[in-house]
């Protein structure tokens, strides 16, 4: 009896100790995590064991990562079971664990690590969590022998909330190499994304080889190269070289698909039509409604969005729904795409179709009369219906942006809702599958801080707003919502470093929303984990935006009083120090406590954020004239 009491006392003491131990900063947050006393140390005798051949690649990849930074041999062995063994990381499949397909059970003790999953995908996701338990240096390339390579003892049971956890990469506006796309996939995999939506065509470039239509890449993949604010460039001159761009051969596309698949990521191609098709028309002008000369857009003004009206185009950029050649073209394109991309869905775009040139077209008028189409929404619906049949004939399901709802939705079509959640809610109500991707929460091309510092885009979505994204609105049938994704359009993204900067850390917020239980989401708990992952991103050589440390500015004025400025921060505990006299503020300058009265002759307000005596944010320089401009525009 005394021995039992002693054992129970020791167990209780260990439980109390474990409750007081720090919890690892995991993103996305797991379904459940129990911290235990102790840690597992990787040393020269550590090995990895995999239970089956289908897990071998996962074990080999983990071993490679660990060898690279620890300098240890880390052999990969075959295990007869998924039971823990001394000084070993065991990866196995567990049909008895009651885990969903992508779920896993990770148990780390002083003696061993056991990772069990229902499927290889679940095991792969578990390995990503395991790596996050290790020091941040695991993300680097240098051997750190002096480091204690240890992970805390934990029991983690985890599985995703949604099956569709996507990021969209636009490679049309600016082309990214095969290596850069692979790097994007690598970063996705670390945070349990499983779908790359690859936006391959648009007005600014056609990026995928179609062998039956060679001019798509001979002509449509190239344009005049310009640098500056996209959408405001002067029209290219006739003698300017069309040598900026590029495309992926079919072999390269297969290579990227295979690379993603090895990381349990599917690739969904998008070929945007009937709008956003100027690159295709430059190659094959006979696909337009009216004869003309077309050129790939280089960033000069193209689309016009009138307030309260339908957008128009300065140049016809639409494939003609009344032109039978268009449907033969689509058949050829989607037939070849179907052979390259095994994923069940193909995205046909369907967004932002300007109709002002349709209004002038005799062919469109004839189509409307012949098919009894009452308006241009019905014309687009006619096009989408025919396209769906072409895609279905290739054994694929069709997805389109929420504009395909206009004029009546094709019964078999799935909808990606980007203009807020409204389109997705309506499509789900009508019985269609939906992916939520609202621009006001998850458009990663939008500025993430103040426009005085960010590359100029038409809107702003800060990290805290992205974290508020909820893909399943109240009252919507959960069976209709496949999941969600964030979209990275690249008009203003010229290189890989800016691509990374715009993606992270907002993609961390999206990853957590799509994976973690809704009830686990808490902004105050997310911020310190993001800060920990800033260090991991730095170790990986990935650029990120520190915009959550930057203040937001709000101007107000009640004449005859002075112009007032209110500062706010996404992060609690920051001290905002400021100056109006042109000098550079630091922690010894006045700290913001209440709205500031702008001195009559001041030209600039400079602000920087500190915490515990250390600068965190960037120096923000806000012209007083800009504050007045914003106030007048409200």
- Catalytic residue status for 450: no
pLDDT score for 250: 98
84 band by pLDDT with thresholds 50, 70 and 90? low
pLDDT value at 5 more than 50: no
Domain architecture of the chain: domains with CATH: 23-158 (3.30.379.10), 164-547 (3.20.20.80), 550-633 (2.60.40)
Banded model confidence at residue 253, pLDDT cuts 50, 70, 90? very high
| Given the residues 102, 158, 170, 202, the one annotated as active site | 202
Tens digits of residue pLDDT in 86-104: 999 999 998 776 888 899 9
Q: Cα separation of 430 and 407, whole Å? A: 14
- How large is the average pLDDT for residues 12-28? 69
pLDDT band, residue 381 (cuts 50/70/90): very high
> Measuring CA to CA, which residue among 203, 209, 208, 199 is closest to residue 223?
203
Average pLDDT over residues 471-486: 97
Q: Is 432 one of the catalytic residues?
A: no
Taking residues 487-516, what's their average pLDDT?
98
Q: What is the pLDDT of residue 152?
A: 98
pLDDT of residue 617: 87
Q: 125, 197, 199, 276: which is the annotated catalytic residue? A: 276
571 confidence band (pLDDT: 50, 70, 90): very high
**pLDDT, tens digit (0-9, with 9 covering 90-100), for 189-213:** 999 999 999 999 999 999 999 999 9
Per-residue pLDDT band at 473 (split at 50, 70, 90): very high
What average pLDDT does the chain have?
A: 94
Helix (H, G, I), strand (E, B) or coil at 377: helix
Render pLDDT for 329-357 as a digit per residue (tens, 0 to 9): 999 999 999 999 999 999 999 999 999 99
pLDDT, residue 306, reads 83
* Residue 141 among the catalytic residues: no
The residue from 183, 203, 209, 352 that is catalytic is 352
Task: Find residue 245's DSSP bridge partners.
Answer: 222
What confidence score (pLDDT) does residue 466 get?
98
Percent of the chain exceeding pLDDT 70 equals: 96
Q: What is the pLDDT of residues 522-570, one digit of tens each?
A: 999 999 999 999 999 999 999 999 999 999 999 999 999 999 999 999 9
Long-range CB contact pairs, 410-418, < 8 A, 24+? 410/381, 410/384, 410/385, 412/388, 413/384, 413/388, 414/345, 414/482, 416/347, 416/485, 418/351, 418/443, 418/487
């Amino acid at each position: 009896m005394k021995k039992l009491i002693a054992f129970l006392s020791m167990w209780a003491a260990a439980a109390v100790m474990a409750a007081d131990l720090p919890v690892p900063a995991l993103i996305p947050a797991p379904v459940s995590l129990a911290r235990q006393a102790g840690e597992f140390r990787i040393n020269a005798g550590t090995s990895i064991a995999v239970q089956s051949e289908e897990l071998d690649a996962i074990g080999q990849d983990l071993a490679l990562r660990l060898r690279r930074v620890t300098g240890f041999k880390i052999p990969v062995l075959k295990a007869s079971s998924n039971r823990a063994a001394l000084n070993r990381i065991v990866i196995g499949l567990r049909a008895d664990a009651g885990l969903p397909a992508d779920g896993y059970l990770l148990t780390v003790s002083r003696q061993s690590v056991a990772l069990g999953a229902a499927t290889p995908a679940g095991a792969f996701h578990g390995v990503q969590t395991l790596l996050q338990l290790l020091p941040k240096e695991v993300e680097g390339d240098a051997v750190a022998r002096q480091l204690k390579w240890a992970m805390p003892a934990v029991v983690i049971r985890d599985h995703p909330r949604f099956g569709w956890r996507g990021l969209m990469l636009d490679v049309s506006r600016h082309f990214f190499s095969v290596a850069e796309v692979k790097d994007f996939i690598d970063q996705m995999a670390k945070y349990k994304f499983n779908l790359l939506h690859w936006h391959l065509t648009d007005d600014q470039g056609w990026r995928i080889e179609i062998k039956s239509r060679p001019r798509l890449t001979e002509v449509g993949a190239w344009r005049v190269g310009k640098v500056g604010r996209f959408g405001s460039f002067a029209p290219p001159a006739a003698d300017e070289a069309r040598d900026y761009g590029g495309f992926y051969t079919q072999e390269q596309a297969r290579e990227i698909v295979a690379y993603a698949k090895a990381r349990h990521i599917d690739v969904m191609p998008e070929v945007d039509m009937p709008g956003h098709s100027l690159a295709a028309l430059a190659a094959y002008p006979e696909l337009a409604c009216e004869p003309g000369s077309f050129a790939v857009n280089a960033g000069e003004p193209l689309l016009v969005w009138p307030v309260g009206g339908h957008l128009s185009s300065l140049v016809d950029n639409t494939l003609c729904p009344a032109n039978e050649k268009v449907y033969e073209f689509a058949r050829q394109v989607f037939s070849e795409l179907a052979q390259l991309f095994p994923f069940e869905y193909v995205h046909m775009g369907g967004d932002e179709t300007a109709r002002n040139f349709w209004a002038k077209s005799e062919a469109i008028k004839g189509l409307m009369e012949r098919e009894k189409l009452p308006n241009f929404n019905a014309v687009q619906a006619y096009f989408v219906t025919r396209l769906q049949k072409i895609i279905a004939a290739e054994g694929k399901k069709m997805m389109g942006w929420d504009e395909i709802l206009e004029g009546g939705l094709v019964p078999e079509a799935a909808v990606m809702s980007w203009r807020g959640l409204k389109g997705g809610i309506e499509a789900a109500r009508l019985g269609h599958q939906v992916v939520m991707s609202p621009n006001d929460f998850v458009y990663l091309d939008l500025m993430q801080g103040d426009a005085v510092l960010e590359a100029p885009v038409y809107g702003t979505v800060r990290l805290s707003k992205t974290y508020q994204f909820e893909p399943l609105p109240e009252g919507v049938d959960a069976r209709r919502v496949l999941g969600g994704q964030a979209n990275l359009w690249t008009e203003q993204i010229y290189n890989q470093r800016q691509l990374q900067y715009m993606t992270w850390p907002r993609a961390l917020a999206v990853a957590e929303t799509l994976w973690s239980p809704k009830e686990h989401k808490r902004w105050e708990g997310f911020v310190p984990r993001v800060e920990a992952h800033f260090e991991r991103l730095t170790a990986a050589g990935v650029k990120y935006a520190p915009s959550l440390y930057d203040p937001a500015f709000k101007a107000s004025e009640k004449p005859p009083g002075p112009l007032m400025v209110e500062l706010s921060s996404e992060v609690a505990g920051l001290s905002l120090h400021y100056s109006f006299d042109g000098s550079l503020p630091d922690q010894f300058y006045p700290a913001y406590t209440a709205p500031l009265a702008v001195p009559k002759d001041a030209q600039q307000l400079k602000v920087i954020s500190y915490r515990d005596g250390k600068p965190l944010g960037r120096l923000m320089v806000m012209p007083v004239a800009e504050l007045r401009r914003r106030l007048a525009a409200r």
